[in-house]
Structure 1
Amino acid sequence: MKPPAKLRSAPLPSPVGLSQSDMDRLTELFVRGTPANTLRAWESDLGYITAWRQHRFGAGPHWPEREDVALAFVLDHSRDLAEAPAGDAARAAAEALIAAGLRRGLACPAPSTLDRRIASWRAFHRMRNFTSPFEAPILRETRAKARRAADRAPAPKSAHPVTREVLHQLMDAAGPGLRGLRDRAVLALGWASGGRRRSEIVALDVDDLDLTAFDAEGLVWLRLPGTKTTTRGDTPRLVLQGTPARTLVAWIDAAGLTSGPIFRRITRHDTLGRNRLSAVGVAEILRRLLRDAGLPAGWASPHGLRSGFLTQAARDGAPLQAAMKLSLHRSPQQAQKYYADVEITENPAAGLFDAG
């Protein structure tokens, strides 16, 4: 994979004593050893940071960055700039970013967004063997205060979880032909293999599947190229069985797939395209099937497949560790929140008012 354009062209100096050719090889190594989603986030964040600094301080990033600039970045993104006066430097920079399509509005961004951009900025320093200004005590304390001041729960990635009942509704809403077969296979694999992220679904190739046990046992084994929490070659094998396995094999057989991407675009004439289905395409499939199933627009996002799998596992009494073996959550605390929401509704103490 080639380094993202902004990373390749960024004016980042080399560590002392490292030639430009060695620097190029180091950059390539970082790219090859970093998940694709992280690379996209780095490119987006570098573009944002560069534009913000240009409008706020009149020049692009400096390496290593100054502490006063880093502090201004935290302060600028820890308040509602709609309340700032017209001549405020932070507001002027924000308005320029809005005009450039890099920022949505003047409201205070979510703390998670600020944390991600700072994490990217720190990564750019590590790549050049520089100490990040965000390690300074005043920056660490300011960030902690900013998170407490925001004091808001993170918005869910999907308005609702796609539980088993909803999943069946969506699969029933998929039409006939290749498009319907593909759409049902996307949903079945994405949900039943542990609640896959859409980037993981579309990255799968035919070579990532093992169908040798399908005829005898009805099993389809798959190995993801890599996930947000695992690297290529380290991701454990996952399994599909029952209806999800049959749905996937039906799609593969109907499409005549022997190599290349499992999920591909379908033309308007319902013929198989050559191009890999994109992550955006998965979102479009879900949006269309939600509409066709009679559910409101925006009822769920692709992350609803992931949250729905874990929510259903909790409802059915599956042990958390068993669900995590498929979802590949690294943190039990992260996965436990889906179980907590289900468990509290079944707590006898929650119905004391109407008891007796």
Structure 2
Amino acid sequence: MPDIPPPSPSASLDESAARKTEALDSLAAILPALAGPERTDQLVALLSEEDIATLRHLAQEGIGENSLRALTSDCSYLEGWCLAATGEPLPWPAPVPLILKFIAHHLWDPERRKTDPAHGIPEDVALALEDLKLLRKAKGGGAHRAPHAVTTVQRRLASWSTLHRWRGLQGAFSAPDVRSAMRLANRVSSRPRARKSRRAVTADLLEQLLATCNGTDYAAPSLVDLRDKALLLIGFASGGRRRSELAGLRLSQIVWEDPLPADPIDPGSLLLPAASLQLGRTKTEDASDDNAVLLIGRPVEALRTWLEAAPIVEGAVFRAIDRWGNVKARGLTPQSVNAILKSRCALAGLDPAEFSAHGLRSGFLTEAANRDIPIQDAMQQSRHRSLAQASSYYNDAGRSRHRSARMLG
């Protein structure tokens, strides 16, 4: 009987790539951001079969789409960085020295790097990451390369730790050396934390945006105007909903309530329309019966007007509209929500570069602070879990009113 030669290494690699491609295709059905041959080829080259299996498990467990997208992106980056920095695939579990190397390669002192090119990320590692399209090219060359934002490094370390847990492994991310390195790197990093939106969309700015949705002297508001007006009002009044939550809002999540008095202290005051939004799973909360926010007055009226004009009887609430005014069945994407807000800013004579959809969220809390609404009430509507995060908006809003800043006149 003739000997059967073992499969060649190249054949094994081809089979592994095929298995990874098939697994990624099924994952792309859940996460559209992974779709496309170029993105698939990149992930096949960077991720191991175990990485992809972990991500599929997370998807099946019902993790949020944005969280899964971030985990996939971070896992790809970590695999690419480790290969560039060590010549080896990412080990599981990751040893402390490797975690420390990751921190040192991404957080450094920009002033020291000007005189010591070896400080921070090695240039060959950075160039390799650029070739993999995992790192933006530095303007002016490697000497002008900036460290990563501390929040980005913290998120990637958190993702790394999460992937360890889902593999049933114990990570060393809470080791004293790692915590000390992060604390020291945070001190020397001169990169300030940037707001997701430079300016908050407070009530006065929101009114300017809404004024662009009222049609013209010669024409009534279009379907686009009605949709955008409802989107802006719901986005703000519901506590500053995230763009992913607005894009994913379904008609089944809306519960029409009995009218409520305009003044809660005076039951005899004018009755206003009301509705509840059942938020379901969000970035920070699991689906639950009490994960809902109440809408009263103008936002509810605008929402009813849009739903009747579209008309929409099921499915996505906020939908794409083609150039001929036809309302599509598909919902908006989170990116479309951002684009709509920027478009309305431009129509209102504001600089779109200073705003993003997150401005609705920061604007809600800033406006609540300006009106001296207790932070606990505002958090009940915004569904913030972190008091520290919500307080940051209150602190920013109240800074201009502090007497301590006026002691010298």
TM-score, reference length from structure 1:
0.88
Query: 2:322 matched to 1:293?
Result: no
Map residues 161-310 of structure 1 onto 2, 5 A cutoff.
Answer: 161-174=200-213, 175=215, 176-213=221-258, 217-233=272-288, 236-310=291-365
Match of 1:314 among 355, 362, 369: 369
2:267 matched residue in structure 1: none
2:384 maps to 329
For 1:239 and 1:299, locate their aligned partners in 2 and report how far apart those are by CA, in whole Å: 29
Distance 1:10 1:266 in 2: 40
CA distance in 1, matches of 2:47, 2:94: 18
Between the aligned partners of 1:94 and 1:72, the Cα distance in structure 2 is: 14
Query: Is structure 2 residue 156 aligned with structure 1 residue 117?
Result: yes
Q: Give the count of matched residue pairs.
A: 345
Equivalent residue letter for 2:303 = L
Once the 2 structures are TM-superposed, how far is the Cα of residue 151 of structure 1 from its aligned partner?
5.3
Alpha carbon RMSD of aligned pairs, Å?
A: 2.8
Q: Distance in 2 between matches of 1:352 and 1:226?
A: 48
Q: Describe the superposition over 1:203-236 as per-residue Cα deviations: whole angstroms up to 9, x where unpaired.
A: 1100000125369750011111221221122552
Structure 1 residue 239, shift from structure 2 partner: 1.2
Aligned-partner SS, 1:221: strand
Distance 1:29 1:40 in 2: 11
Distance (Å, rounded) in 1 between the aligned partners of 2:159 and 2:54? 20
Opposite residue 102 of structure 1, the aligned amino acid is L
The answer to whether structure 1 residue 10 and structure 2 residue 65 are counterparts is no
**Shift of residue 86, structure 1, vs aligned partner:** 8.6
1:126 aligns to what? Answer: 165
1:99 corresponds, among 131, 134, 138, to 131
Rounded Cα–Cα distance in structure 1 between residues aligned with 2:336 and 2:404: 44
Asked if 2 retains the 8 angstrom alpha-carbon contact of 1:200 and 1:226, the reply is no
- State whether residues 209 and 348 of structure 2, in contact with CA within 8 Å, keep that contact through their aligned partners in structure 1: yes
Counterpart of 1:19? none
TM-score, normalised via structure 2 length: 0.77
- Report the AA paired with residue 190 of structure 1: G
| Structure 2 CA distance for partners of 1:210 and 1:108, relative to 1, 3 Å | same
Over the matched positions of the two proteins, sequence identity in percent amounts to 35
CA distance in 2 between partners of 1:334 and 1:45 (Å)? 23
Counterparts of 1:139-178 in structure 2, within 5 Å, are 139-150=178-189, 152-174=191-213, 175=215, 176-178=221-223
Counterpart amino acid of 2:48? A
Look up the match of 1:138: 177
Aligned residue type for 1:172 = A
Contiguous gaps of at least 5 residues in structure 2: 1-25, 35-42, 139-144, 216-220, 261-270
Structure 1 unaligned blocks of 5 or more: 14-22
- Measured after TM superposition, the shift of residue 133 of structure 1 is 3.2
Whether the aligned pair in 2 keeps the contact of 1:291 and 1:297 (CA below 8 Å) is yes
2:80 to 51, 55, 58: 51
Alpha carbons of 1:135 and 1:343: their partners in 2 closer, same or farther (altered >3 Å)?
closer
